[in-house]
């Protein structure tokens, strides 16, 4: 537990944030009015402390953000992070305080100036990371309420990605975006092969996405994929020939572009999902 401590001169970042020394460690503490009228050597009352950060190598960058960004942006980012942790029921990596605050402030600034925010993976993010996207929608409402700025759904998707990658044991941002891109490319292959437009809100689409996500995660961690007996495999190949051909195109694409090798059983399961999509049209 952080006791009453003394902060160093020039370390009052704003009225709500100061840098302190506690047991020989430099920490950033936040709380309403915690730095108001404070001088070097003044004690920080522990009852005012709402959050404590020990960010090691990222301290300087985080301090710079806290000094230079609008306080309203910092407060909104922290509220989003707190809401995400409570909603998802997991702690988020401390890096989120730096990454999301920086990203969000820049996005709000751009939107306020009329710049267009785009997210070409929005549909895939909504399907893959539904709970995180709901956090992003909550953030969308919060920003509208506090700043009267309407952030688009594309930005909600970016917030969802930041939240997802900050979850403990989650993939990196690069891996998360790669997974979403693979899903998008798979859908494009299905649409081209069937000459249709996939309905992103349909149950068949949601089930396909869930299956692909599970398969990709299993392949990343070298976990065994679900097997299918030969009789069922042969039946799917014969009965759902076009869907299986489409699944084979997906296999070729993943092997060529990502060096991912889907086994034949996995193709059969994907073919079943493709068939369900075709039947729903």
| DSSP, residue by residue, 127-194 | HH-HHHHHHHHHHHHHHHHHH-----HHHHHHHHHHHHHHBTTPPPHHHHHHHHHHHHHHHHHHHHHH
Contacts of 246 (CB under 8 A, 6+ apart): 189, 190, 193, 194, 271, 274
| Whole-angstrom distance, CA of residue 234 vs CA of residue 249 | 18
The pLDDT tens digits for 47-61 are 777 777 665 556 677
| Whole-angstrom distance, CA of residue 46 vs CA of residue 2 | 7
- Tell me which fold the domain 5-53 belongs to: Transcription Regulation, Sacy; Chain A (2.30.24)
Instruction: Give the angle subtended at the CA of 154 by the CAs of 148 and 156, to the nearest 5°.
Output: 60
What residue segments make up the domains of the chain, in order of their start? 5-53, 71-166, 173-280
Asked, colleague to colleague, whether 5-53 and 173-280 share their fold, the answer is no
Give percent above pLDDT 90 in the chain: 36
- The reported pLDDT for the residue numbered 10 is 36
| Whole-angstrom distance, CA of residue 212 vs CA of residue 218 | 10
CATH 1.10.1790.10 fits 173-280, yes or no: yes
Q: How far apart are the first and last CA of the chain?
A: 59
Contacts 24+ apart (CB under 8 A), 184-192: 184/120, 184/121, 184/123, 184/124, 185/253, 185/257, 186/212, 186/250, 186/253, 187/123, 187/124, 189/246, 189/249, 189/250, 189/253, 190/246, 190/250, 190/274, 190/277
The pLDDT tens digits for 228-281 are 778 888 899 899 999 999 999 999 999 999 998 888 888 889 999 999 888 877
If one compares 219 and 53, the residue with the highest pLDDT of the two is: 219
- The reported pLDDT for the residue numbered 252 is 95
166-185 per-residue burial string, b: 16 or more CB within 10 A, e: under 16: bbeebbeeeebbebbebbbb
Residue 118 pLDDT > 70: yes
CATH 1.10.1790.10 fits 71-166, yes or no: yes
The pLDDT tens digits for 1-17 are 444 444 443 366 666 67
The pLDDT tens digits for 162-186 are 999 888 666 678 888 888 999 999 9
Contact 20, 27 (CB under 8 A): yes
- The reported pLDDT for the residue numbered 11 is 60
The pLDDT tens digits for 268-279 are 899 999 998 888
> What would the two tokens of residue 110 be?
């751009």
How do 25-30 and 51-53 pair as beta strands?
A: antiparallel
Got the DSSP string for 185-247?
HHHHHHHHHHT----TTSHHHHHHHHHHHHHHHHHHTTPPPPP--HHHHHHHHHHTHHHHHHH
Q: What is the dihedral of CA 145, 146, 150, 155, to 10 degrees?
A: -110
14, exposed or middle or buried, with CB in 10 Å at 0-12, 13-18, 19+? middle
């Amino acid at each position: 537990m952080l006791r009453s401590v003394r902060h160093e001169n020039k370390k009052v970042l704003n009225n709500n944030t100061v840098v302190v020394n506690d047991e020989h460690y430099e920490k950033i503490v936040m709380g309403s009015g915690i730095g108001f009228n404070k001088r070097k050597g003044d004690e920080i009352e522990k009852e005012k402390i709402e959050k404590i950060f020990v960010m090691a190598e990222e301290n300087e960058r985080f301090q710079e953000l806290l000094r230079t960004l609008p306080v309203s942006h910092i407060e909104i980012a922290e509220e989003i992070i707190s809401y995400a942790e409570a909603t998802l029921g997991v702690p988020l990596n401390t890096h989120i305080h730096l990454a999301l605050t920086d990203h969000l402030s820049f996005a709000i600034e751009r939107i306020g100036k009329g710049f267009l925010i785009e997210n070409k993976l929005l549909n895939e993010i909504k399907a893959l990371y539904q709970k995180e996207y709901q956090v992003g929608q909550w953030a969308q409402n919060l920003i509208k309420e506090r700043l009267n700025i309407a952030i688009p759904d594309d930005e909600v998707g970016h917030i969802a990605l930041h939240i997802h990658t900050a979850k403990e044991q989650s993939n990196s941002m690069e891996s998360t975006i790669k997974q979403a891109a693979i899903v998008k490319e798979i859908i494009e292959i299905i649409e081209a092969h069937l000459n249709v437009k996939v309905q992103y809100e349909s149950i068949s689409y949601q089930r396909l996405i869930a299956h692909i996500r599970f398969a990709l995660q299993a392949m990343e961690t070298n976990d065994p994929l679900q097997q299918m007996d030969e009789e069922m495999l042969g039946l799917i190949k014969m009965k759902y020939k076009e869907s299986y051909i489409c699944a084979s195109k997906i296999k070729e694409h993943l092997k060529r572009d990502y060096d991912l090798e889907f086994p034949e059983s996995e193709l059969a399961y994907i073919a079943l999902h493709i068939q369900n999509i075709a039947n729903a049209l």
